[in-house]
Amino acid sequence: MLKNKEELTEELGDVLEVMLAYAKENNISFEDVDKARIRKKNEYGGFEGKVYNASVELNSDDDYINYFLSNPDKYPEIK
């Protein structure tokens, strides 16, 4: 867990650096990435409400199903 705003700022800077390097490696401009971000935000909504996924559907043989089922407080099963 990050201790303060300065540490979070440093970590976010690292994430942005990785994203920009990956985009450059694939000949994608920052402007194109930002346009895609805005388009998707307008279409699907943003993360301001801190709701990242309302639900996730998994097949019964999915490798991650046991993780989700073992954490019912964080990931309640919807039937």
Question: Does position 1 have pLDDT exceeding 70, yes or no?
Answer: no
Q: Is 75 within a domain?
A: no
How do residues 24-78 score in pLDDT, each as one tens digit? 999 999 999 999 999 999 988 887 877 666 677 888 888 888 888 898 888 888 8
Q: Give the three-class secondary structure for 38.
A: helix
Q: Is 53 within a domain?
A: yes
pLDDT attached to residue 12: 93
Q: Is 60 within a domain?
A: yes
Q: Is 39 within a domain?
A: yes
Q: How many domains does the chain have?
A: 1
What spatial distance separates the first Cα and last Cα of the chain, rounded to whole Å?
33
